Amino acid sequence: MPQRSEEPSPADIIQRARRFLRLTELACELCESPGDYAELGAHSVAIYGRSVTLVLQKLRSRVDGFDEWYAPHRQLMASDDLMRQFVELRNSLLKEGGPDLMFAQHVRVSKNDAGEVVFDNHFVGFAFRGSPPTSHLGSVLPPTGIAQQGRLYVRYLAGLVDQAEQRWSA
Helix (H, G, I), strand (E, B) or coil at 111: strand
Between residues 90 and 146, the one the model is more confident about: 90
DSSP string, 44-89: HHHHHHHHHHHHHGGGGGTSTTHHHHHHHHHHHHHH-HHHHHHHHH
pTM: predicted TM-score of the whole model, two decimal places: 0.80
Q: What is the pLDDT of residue 54?
A: 96
Q: What is the pLDDT of residue 132?
A: 72
Q: What is the pLDDT of residue 114?
A: 79
Give residue-wise pLDDT tens across range 32-84.
877 778 778 888 999 999 999 999 999 999 999 999 999 999 999 999 988 98
Percent of the chain past pLDDT 70, that is, above it, reads: 79
